[in-house]
Amino acid sequence: MNRMNDAVKKFAVNVLGCGCPEEVFLSIELEKAPGPVGGILPSFEIRIGGRLMIVGVAYEFVRSPEDSLATLVAAGMMAREGERFNRLRIVVVSDAPDCEAILRPRFERIPGLDDRVHLHVVKKELIEGMLNASESVLRTGELITEPTVWHEMEGPFIGGREHYQEKSYGFENLKGAEAKAKHQA
């Protein structure tokens, strides 16, 4: 497991209280500043092991209008169902002392809410620690995802078994870019 996965796992388990089994954390995707969810711009989105979806949003985006939290949760639930995830955790990033008291009643009144959706209010410093760990991984070039194991590949792979990890690590694109750069030089 790489440093980004470790940071995300620690955040999910220690801060959000996730009780997922260890093998779920072998596959983690983190996207900073993803596209809008229900018209609201999340700060980050994390997908863990095909089971847990975490959407992080700044308090400013769900503070008002009053139905903005409900809109985000409904869109998140739709994405959760569409992608067949088990759980959705909405993480509101805020240092405001009254944030939980304002948002919790709104959250509990959302129609169609089920027990697989959770709301968390998390201080900015805890989020920044996790996101900074992932940023350092990107700067150092450490792999963000674990390699695909040969038996996990779907269908026949062009190039055979000896080249399957090139696709897993994204090297096939890198080789093309290197060849193009050498040719242009």
The CA distances from residue 158 to 124, 150, 179, in Å, are 46, 13, 20
Region for residue 13 given its phi and psi (left: phi exceeds 0; alpha: psi -120 to 50; beta: otherwise): alpha
User: What sign has the CA pseudo-torsion 20, 26, 27, 28?
Assistant: positive
Specify if 85 maps to a domain: yes
Q: How many domains does the chain have?
A: 2
Find the farthest-apart pair of alpha carbons in the chain and give their distance in angstroms, rounded.
Answer: 62
Q: Establish if 45 belongs to a structural domain.
A: yes
Q: Is there a single domain that holds both residue 115 and residue 163?
A: no
Verify that 63 and 134 share a domain, yes or no.
yes
Say if residue 111 is in the same domain as residue 130: yes
Same domain, 110 and 35: yes
Domain range for 168: 151-184
Please give the model's pTM, rounded to 2 decimal places.
0.69
Residues 82 and 104 in one domain: yes
Contact of 55 with 69, CB cutoff 8 Å: no
Q: Are residues 50 and 8 in the same domain?
A: yes
Classify residue 12 by its DSSP letter. I
Looking at the fold, whether 177 and 87 belong to one and the same domain comes out as no
Shared-domain flag, residues 55 and 108: yes
Give the C-alpha distances (Å, rounded to integers) separating 75 from 47, 113, 138, 144: 15, 12, 29, 27
Shared domain check, 164 and 128: no
Per-residue pLDDT of the chain (185 residues; tens, 9 = 90+): 566 778 888 889 988 888 888 888 888 888 887 777 767 777 888 999 999 999 999 998 898 888 889 998 998 999 999 999 999 999 999 999 999 999 999 999 999 899 999 999 999 888 887 777 666 444 434 444 444 444 454 554 455 555 544 444 444 444 444 544 454 54
